[in-house]
Amino acid sequence: MHLMKLDPRALKENSDRSRQTKSTPQADALLLATIKAVGLVQPPVIAPEPDGGNGYIIDSGHRRVKQAIAAGLEEIDVLVVDAANDNGAMRSMVENIAREPLNPVDQWRAIERLVALGWTEEAIGVALALPVRQIRKLRLLANVLPAMLDHMAKGDMPSEQQLRAIAAANLDEQREVWKAQKPKKGDPQVSWWSVANALSKKRMYARDASFGDDLAQAYGISWVEDLFAPADEDSRYTTNVEGFLGAQQEWMTIHLPKRGVITDVNNWGQVVLPPKAERVHGKPGKGDRTAMYLDREGKVQSVNFRLPEPKSKGADDADDGVDAIVMPKPRPDVTRKGVEMIGDLRNDALHEALARAPIEDDTLMALLVLALAGRNISVQSGASDDVYGFARMERHAVQLVDGDGKLSFDRDTLRVAARSALIDVLSARENRTNSGIVACLAGDAIGADGFLPSMGTEEFLSCLSRLALERSCKDTPVLPRARVKDTRAALVEHFKGQRFVHPAAAFAPNAAEVATWRSKSALVADEDADVTVGEAEDRASDATGLDEVDLDSIDEAYRVAAE
């Protein structure tokens, strides 16, 4: 075996080679690009022609020889071996089978070595026939936790979007999420969607901001550059969602037109106009007004609307009625996201309490009755399409019946079945599965408050308004700061060593909620439906000790009872 230089055009192909299938144009283009950039890294293996011929036959490296000719190389290094009895068939097969391509993690490490040697991403892309976007995607691995890299090296890679979400988080955050999401023994796959979802942070982009640097500084907003975004757009962003929305809100207040209003959007993202207002789609008239609002992306939007002509009373009365709509709605203590977080935390705590907390048998039976009254429960007397729901309940009921179709169980089996059924039925989440007040009553009865996790985190405290955040400083050594961001950071640091539960997350409902629920239930239960609105109001007033109740709720309950 020896090394020599030969003209690649003088080499003959081996008709007995193992790889007979034609390679793809993409693979050939990649090989040609690498040969042009760095030459032949691995010399082809050749052997003398059998039967005393003067030429050489390619043993392995047909594609390398072909692309070297395409690259215009006049000489290449080749490794000459003795002719084999099988015409090189075994060497050719072993050479192709034993080869293993670089995994993405090793590719990234090789790219980083090239960058350290002065190669640009564009030059690497040309040499490897890869898009620059792919090179930049691989370079995201530099920001990934080493334990995740070890798993990715096995071939289980996230998508580009998931990888961007992971790489955008710091290593401490990645480490915490990986503890919960890493695969168990015997499971080769990772739910990268769950990992990315746990690490994703809402981004608010500078290109969508109407406010300037002064308000950005006042609300503690610092812009971060997305280095992997297209170069022709402003890619600066912040994850300080509350500060961004607060700055947008203040900008609208400052720039609100005369007699304009600041309004909200509904659940479908449509602007909510004042009562009886008509939206103006064309050019606004002299008497038309402007409504400003924030859309779902946090952008400032504006629409024109027209109010009906006031009736001929007094001019002062008409003006008073119109000016009333200019007052902006006060910001809630807890944002919508915060309310949804509370619902998720409550739901987990409720289910953990149902599974672990001590519950007396009488209480357990009462909870089953409560669960059947939840808003998410539907009982039908005929055929139903909710096959999954029935199957889920039958899963618990089947434990109580023997093979002959007779009830057969002990108390422990009954308790387990009852707890499992309650966990499946009761829900405190803020969506269509919400059981309503009965989930709060059940959680209060079994002490689910004790299973709530600490809410003194950056994620939850960012959902509180300034006033709510400052109220959370009560009974702590933390004093409110001039900037909301600083107050929140001080609270997060303070609550690291102790448990903090926001009062809004407590399970116990207030007396008014219980009274309204009881009065509506009493109306529906009236056999003769002979209950007047006044009587219903008296019931609710007696229960709450108040003179006024929600008449709309009473009207609705009375209507249902009358039907």
Q: CB within 8 A of 199, min separation 6: which ones?
A: 165, 166, 168, 169, 173, 174, 177
Do β-strands 278-280 and 261-262 pair in parallel, antiparallel, or remain unpaired? unpaired
Q: Report d(CA 286, CA 250) in Å as an integer.
A: 26
List, edge to edge, every strand of the sheet that includes 56-60.
2-6, 76-80, 45-48, 56-60, 11-12
Where b means 16+ CB within 10 Å and e means fewer, 245-257 reads bbbbbebbeeebe
- Can you give the pLDDT at residue 538? 53
DSSP 8-state secondary structure symbol assigned to residue 280: E
Per-state percent for the chain, helix, strand, coil, to nearest 5? 50, 10, 40
| Number of DSSP helices (H) and strands (E) in the chain, helices first | 24, 12
Bridge partner residues of 279 (DSSP): 305
Q: Can you give the pLDDT of all 563 residues of the chain as single tens digits?
A: 778 888 888 888 877 665 666 777 877 787 788 788 778 777 888 888 776 667 888 877 888 888 888 888 888 888 888 766 555 555 555 555 555 567 888 888 888 888 888 888 888 877 776 788 888 888 888 888 998 888 888 888 888 888 888 888 888 888 888 888 888 776 777 888 888 878 877 788 999 999 999 899 888 899 988 776 777 788 888 888 888 988 999 899 899 988 888 888 887 888 888 888 889 888 888 889 999 999 888 899 999 999 887 666 554 554 444 444 444 556 678 888 888 888 889 888 888 888 888 888 878 877 786 777 666 777 553 433 444 444 566 777 777 777 787 877 777 888 888 888 888 888 888 887 888 888 899 889 999 999 999 999 999 999 998 888 888 888 888 888 888 888 899 899 989 888 899 998 999 988 888 888 887 766 555 544 444 445 544 544 444 343 344 444 444 544 444 44
List, edge to edge, every strand of the sheet that includes 204-205.
204-205, 236-238, 224-225
Q: Which of 84, 54, 77, 60 lies closest to 8, judged by CA?
A: 77
Would you say 560 and 523 are in contact if contact means Cβ atoms under 8 Å apart?
Answer: yes
Would you say 7 and 75 are in contact if contact means Cβ atoms under 8 Å apart?
Answer: yes
Reading the block at residue 398, the tokens are 């089947």
- Can you give the pLDDT at residue 329? 59
CA max distance for the chain? 119
Q: Report d(CA 324, CA 321) in Å as an integer.
A: 5
Is 23 in a helix, a strand, or coil? coil
Q: Report d(CA 518, CA 313) in Å as an integer.
A: 43
Bridge partner residues of 47 (DSSP): 57
Would you say 211 and 244 are in contact if contact means Cβ atoms under 8 Å apart?
Answer: no
Q: Which of 498, 512, 378 lies closest to 432, judged by CA?
A: 378
DSSP code per residue over 403-465: TTS-B---HHHHHHHHHHHHHHH---SSSTT--THHHHHHHHHTTGGGGPPP--SHHHHTTB-
Q: Which of 148, 487, 205, 461 lies closest to 335, judged by CA?
A: 461
Q: Report d(CA 102, CA 98) in Å as an integer.
A: 13
Would you say 221 and 485 are in contact if contact means Cβ atoms under 8 Å apart?
Answer: no
Reading the block at residue 180, the tokens are 């919960």
